[in-house]
Amino acid sequence: MEQSDKERAQTERLENDYEVARSPTIQKITNKVCGCGYIGSSWTTQSEAEKLLKYLKLDENDTLLEIGAGAGWPGLYLAKQSGCHVTLLDIPVTGLEIAKKRAKDDLMSDRVCALSGNAANLPFQVPTFSAVSHSDVLCCLIKKQEVLKECRRVIHSSGLMAFTVISIQPDLSDRERKQAIQVSPDFVETEVDYLTMFENTGWGSISYEDITEEFQRSCQLMMLAEQEQEEGLRALKGDIEFEEGKVAWELKLKAFSKGLLRRELFVVKPI
């Protein structure tokens, strides 16, 4: 599936980010958020991963699809804890290579399939999965409703989907909205809210949590971790990128203090 220039730029940046994420310095930083030794690029914490396990009621009979799977967090963790099979799908291949190595090290390659593909055009013909999950993925892509429709197409009628997503608080002034977009993932904006998207794509919401406070705490932890790893980060990324990163954190924290951002956890089922 053709990507727009902006989507291609994001994929190229992520290929590089996953490559850099192999470094122990970045692993120490990202592990401050996930907390259990996986390489993560979403804001998903271990306690949120536990919530996903609980909401999806996963066990060894389940077949989970994780879209935007990155380097395997939290999909591999969900499979390890529950014994289920997991298919990890993402566009950048570098993250998937890291995930495959982790699955091998954890002796669970027989339960893990890693595929490069676009979630707006899933490479499965029939309903194949009993569960779908994604972590801060819809805010990283343009075709949100196409992806929701595709997830609906490939899940069993009795399946469940759980996911987190970052969005902009409604009813902001133009100036505040601009500020929020500046510190958010590339494609955070939506034409309609998520509940309307569910109605449009065949999903019904069964559970909802506002996890903005946890998101803010994770950002603070990550900012502190970057300060602790300053020397290693400067060596890895260069001084200019390090300084730009510091400014970006300050802007993000300002946006939180003004209540401009939101992060939510949705659990939905096919209708």
Ligand X SMILES: C[S@@+](CC[C@H](N)C(=O)[O-])C[C@H]1O[C@@H](n2cnc3c(N)ncnc32)[C@H](O)[C@@H]1O
Interface residue list for ligand X (CB under 6 A): 14, 40-42, 44, 67-70, 73, 90-92, 95, 118-120, 135-137, 140-141
User: Is 42 or 184 the residue whose CB approaches ligand X more closely?
Assistant: 42
Counting Cα atoms < 13 Å in the Cβ hemisphere of 203 gives 30
User: Is 40 or 270 the residue whose CB approaches ligand X more closely?
Assistant: 40
User: Is 38 or 198 the residue whose CB approaches ligand X more closely?
Assistant: 38
User: Is 68 or 270 the residue whose CB approaches ligand X more closely?
Assistant: 68
Residues sharing a CB contact under 8 Å with residue 11, sequence separation 6 or more, in sequence order = 3, 91, 92
Element housing 247 (H / E): helix 239-257
Residue 2 per-residue DSSP state: P
Residues 150 and 141: their CA atoms lie apart, in Å, by 14
Element housing 34 (H / E): helix 24-34
Residues present in the chain in total: 271
Edge to edge, the sheet with strand 63-67 lists 112-116, 85-90, 63-67, 129-135, 155-168, 261-270, 203-210
**Smallest separation (angstroms) from ligand X to the CB of 144:** 10
Please name which of 6, 59, 32, 50 lies closest in space to residue 186, comparing C-alpha atoms. 6
Between β-strands 155-168 and 261-270, what pairing exists: parallel, antiparallel or unpaired? antiparallel
CB atoms under 10 Å from CB of 254, counted, come to 12
- Evaluate whether 186 touches 251 at the Cβ level (below 8 Å): no
Which tokens belong to 257?
Answer: 């203090």
**Smallest separation (angstroms) from ligand X to the CB of 45:** 10
User: Residue holding tokens 């659990």?
Assistant: 267
Residue 84 per-residue DSSP state: -
**Smallest separation (angstroms) from ligand X to the CB of 49:** 9
User: Is 70 or 270 the residue whose CB approaches ligand X more closely?
Assistant: 70
**Smallest separation (angstroms) from ligand X to the CB of 18:** 8
